Homo-oligomer: A and B are copies of this chain.
Amino acid sequence: MNDQKGILAVISGFSGAGKGTLVKELLTRHEQEYCLSISATTRIPREGEVDGQHYFFLDKSVFEQRIQEERFLEHACYVDNYYGTPKDFVFNKLSQGISVILEIEMQGALKVKERYPETVLIFVTPPTAEELEARLRGRGTETEEVILSRLSRASEEVTYMDKYDYIVLNENGKVVECAEDIHQIIEAEKRKAVYGGELVEQLTEGLAAYKKGE
């Protein structure tokens, strides 16, 4: 069971919930065990963005061909650009025993879960709506309009929270604890009986000789 496949985990959360910081903490603390999925996109690379590190930058025709070939776990189109999660990258890492973190929005998350029910959906949230608003305002970098539109979006996203497998509280100043909570969930998931097929088979074979009447 210890040399088993990695776990595919989606981490979602309200904009402003501190998801990015949290994922970075998780990857730093357990860098041998996790990697972040790299998205493919058809948009133009921004200054400093490296192909294969920040994104896989693809031509539109190549992206569309790969959609045809079902080479994405999920994909979507925003503002005339495609974004998608390449299967190859994810499945390669998983087969090496590395768990893959997807940081995608809710609709993508639910699509991935539908196709790969073993995907673990984790929703990260501040403990209260007030706290979410305080964090958004605390940044001091957003206009009132942006803050209100994020809160409005959160008010819709909250209705999907129960579609997630786990809810993790991201309390103020507890980013380490929260990252460890996520790690704990993924470690527990690895022990799900559904992954124990090989072990059960070996035990069954090993015990067969002791079956009554044999």
Contacts and interface: CB of A to CB of B under 8 A. Distances in A.
A50 interface: no
Contacts of A27: none
Interface in A127-141: 127-130, 132
Nearest to A204: B158
A196 B154 CA distance: 17
Contact of A130 (B129, B194, B206): B206
A187 B156 CA distance: 29
Interface string A148-192: 100110111011011111111100000000000100110111011
- Tallying the copies of this chain within the complex gives 2
A203 interface: yes
A207 interface: yes
Interface residues of A, number: 50
A1 interface: yes
A128 B202 CA distance: 7
Given A154-B210, A207-B129, A207-B155, A188 B166 contact: yes
Contacts of A197: 162
Nearest to A167: B196
Nearest 6 A-B pairs (CB), nearest first? A129-B206, A188-B188, A151-B210, A155-B207, A167-B196, A185-B188
